[in-house]
Amino acid sequence: MPSLTRAEATARAATVDVREYEVDLDLTAEGDTFGSRTVVRFDAQEGASTFLEFEPVSVVKMTLNGSPLPDSVLAGGRLLLTDLAGANELAVEAVMRYSNTGEGLHKYVDPADGSIYIYQHMFINNAGRILPAFDQPDLKASFRISVTAPASWRVAANGPLLSGVGGRWEFAATKPISTYLCSLIAGPYHEVSDSHDGIPLALYARAALAGALEAEAAEIFEVTKQCFDRYHEIFDIRYPFGHYQQAFAPEFNFGAMEYPGLVVFRDEFIYRSAVTESEREHRANVIAHEMAHMWFGDLVTMAWWDDLWLNESFAEYMGTRIAAEATRFEGTWTTFAMQRKAWGLRADQHPSTHPVAPAEVTDTDQALLNFDGISYAKGAAVLRQLVAFVGDEAFRAGVNAHFAAHAYGNATLADLLGALSAASGRDLTAWADVWLRQAQVNTLRTSFVRDGSAYASVVIEQTAPDAYPTLRPHRLGIGLWDRAGGSLVRRKLIEVEVDATGRTEVPELVGEPVADLLLLNDGDLTYAKIRLDEASTAAVPSVLPLIGDSLARAVLWAATLDAVVDGERPVAELVTLALAALPVESEVVIVEDVLRATRSLVDRYSTPETRPAALELVAQAADRLLAVSEPGGSRQLAAARGLIGATVDTARLHDWLAGENVPAGLPVDADLRWLIVYRLAVLGAAGLDVIDAEFERDRSATGEQWAARCRAARPDAEAKAQAWAAIIGDAALSNRLVEMTASGFWQAEQLDLVRDYVPRYFAEMPAMMRLRSGMSAERTAAAAYPGLVVEPRTRDLAAALLADDDLDPILRRVVLDADDDLRRALAAR
């Protein structure tokens, strides 16, 4: 679809007022097309002209106010209308095309049983792939959906089902919603239903996952109910969209999407194999995140994509907070410190950085690119800082006033800040300017002067990058930690207001005995890069295993990993710390994230000569943890995964695959088997015969994706050629399969084999971007990037491609940021 500019959206919103879409879809035809009949009712300035997004295969009939429209009104994905009346009715009947990229109406064939599944995803600018639409967030309307489909299917949509007999489903009209929030699912979905506090609840998943859905339903419903109760305590307006259905769909691009009344998740959240407690926490967090959107995004929607943070930052913050407050997963802020904030920090330091609330998002292409760690994680961290700044009572009062003022409508940054300022009695203009309107991140460092055994002075120094010199006010904690009886105990915790002068004295600590660890940002209240004083930095390897507070350990690990990424600490030091501290780490998310990040840094920051030894130490760290972990527990599973990913002991992996010498309690189930086969394929110890046999054993959607990744990972010239051809030119390959193929292609163990594909990436990826679109194209381009070939030549080729003024904007951003990561790796080496 063509990109919609903000100027066009502003002009269109001044011209029309959309009242209703009446949509009738026919999904009974075989092949790659479906029927779409739509009536759009809207008011307009008399005599005005406008357009709708629309991209049909063919048109059967089009009328405006009863008069036929010629085919010539369709051009470039837009339906042009002229000489409008005050009240208008556009009726269109057309043939549309299914997609395999997760956009529009996505069609999927389950390899397990051949069943067809369909879901709708009109996100940002894809409504025109299904129906003619005024596709922008501030032109809200009611949607009345009808669907004709095989009688054996289930169909669900945003609105309540009025009737569903004989293959015909009709749904009640929705409340006013933005076009990108209209959705449906169709296929032989398995359903589990429940209710809570007057709200009908339902879960849907593919028939092949029926057993897994039944097993997981109790926990999903429990989390859903707990989150509803807490949101209803915080928000004055109850859940406003009737029923609450959660569908788990195949090949969904996002983790989930907040369609009101019908939230859609990727179906990997219906676990079919053993998972860690942190993965269950992640699912609970996503459930809470999407539920937050029912208010932030659905009830009150941003007017344009420059205020995306009003959707995603709030949902990220509230999801983390509500999961911690309402469910058994009380450690979500530890996960946020380890994973989500690190995501935000990396995005914020890339060349493509942007403010949380940019002054302008010029078009929908740029809007798509801003669905990143800044809009989600940085925005959430900034909101946590705002709540600390104004107080939780004022924050809640301001948010509720905002909902009351804009329910079922649209709002802007100024609207929300006005409500929060009125509730708190504080002018937030200056705060918003430095935290929301300015990009990049500050670095906070502690230093101190001793007076004998006590602090004579403690100083927090704040710096900013030369290109982004903004200093900010920070409210944060400082903890004093001392050794006591084999543990490290927090003696004192104070909260400090760091000003924007660059140097903040901390008089509250003068005279205090010097601590074994002076922990800056204890409690993880602010968003900044944290660097400890020299003595505390030197003490980390010995004191980290002694800290009982998981959030404090997460802050230390995150600061350590960030320093390695920045090249301030060597990757060898990180590997040594992992070997010392991980075997006694009890927080599973820390184990998982440290193993993942360390493995990634070893592959890119170690030289080819030092990498084998570093990787062996990572494997040893995982193996030691495996040896001391409780059988059948989350730590054991996390350790086993880490060991599989780092080991070169193929005999041991083959034994596990055969069920021999497996640690007691470790479930070598379908997903762990695939992880083993994948590592064996990378090491050249599992050929096509092993991969194909495993796929026959696990002929599922997940098995199909793993098989594609394993085939691409083999150290074989023909395998690489076939994988590359699929990545670059196979339009029939679905979004998830092409992404998995790309993710398996580059391997640190195979650089000599794939080095010739480095120039091919920069020569051939622009053509791939014309073949695919949107998020599928972005993820494929990122996964296929030769980031493991850490050589100046890779950067030279990137620079040459970036010099092309006509380069696809999505590919430009992928290459720009990946090249910056490569710059860091070269500097670290």
Residues recognised as catalytic:
290
474/466 Cα distance (integer angstroms) = 20
Q: Which helix (H) or strand (E) holds 691?
A: helix 688-697
443-451 sheet: strands from edge to edge: 503-505, 454-463, 443-451, 529-531
SS3 annotation, 797-808? HHHHHHCCCCCC
The pair of three-digit structure tokens given for residue 570, joined into one six-digit string:
């060597």
CA distance 778 to 823: 21
DSSP letter string, 278-335: HHHHHHHHHHHHHHHHTTBTTTEEESSGGGTHHHHHHHHHHHHHHHHHHSS-TTHHHH
Q: Where are the alpha helices (DSSP H) in 544-669?
A: 550-565, 571-581, 588-605, 611-628, 634-646, 650-657
Q: If you ran DSSP here, which 8-state letter would residue 4 be given?
A: P
Distance (Å, rounded) from C-alpha 306 to C-alpha 356?
Answer: 9
| CA distances, 759 to each of 744, 794, 797 (Å) | 18, 8, 7
* 230 CA to centre of own chain: 24
Distance CA 237, CA 219 (A): 26
Residue 120 phi, psi dihedral angles, 5° rounding? -105, 135
Residue 545, Cβ density class (10 Å: 0-12 exposed, 13-18 middle, ≥19 buried): middle
β-bridge mates for residue 363, sequence order: 5
Is 474:444 a contact under the CB 8 Å cutoff?
A: yes
Residue type, 479: G
Q: Is 295 exposed, middle or buried (0-12, 13-18, 19+ CB in 10 A)?
A: buried
Closest alpha carbon to 255 in 332, 175, 319, 314? 319
Q: Which residue, 87, 248, 85, is CA-closest to 154? A: 248
Please measure the distance between the N-terminal and C-terminal CA atoms of the chain and give it in whole angstroms.
Answer: 43
Lookup: tokens for 807? 């380069």
Q: Could you tell me if 436 and 326 are in contact, meaning their C-beta atoms sit under 8 angstroms apart?
A: no
Which H helix or E strand runs over 78? Answer: strand 78-81
Structure tokens at 759: 């120039």
As a whole number of angstroms, the distance between CA 516 and CA 154 comes to 62
Neighbours of 459 (CB within 10 A): 14
- Please state, in angstroms and rounded to a whole number, the distance separating the CA atoms of residues 762 and 740: 20
DSSP state of 820: H
Give the H/E segment covering residue 459: strand 454-463
Tokens of 818: 């990946």
Closest listed residue to residue 568, CA positions, set 530, 517, 613, 525: 530
Give the H or E element holding residue 200. strand 199-205
Give just the sign of the alpha carbon dihedral 757, 763, 764, 769.
Answer: positive
Non-local CB neighbours of 689 within 8 Å, separated by 6+ positions: none
> Is 534 in a helix, a strand, or coil?
helix
CA–CA distance, 411 with 230 (Å, rounded to integer): 24
Residues in the chain, overall count:
829
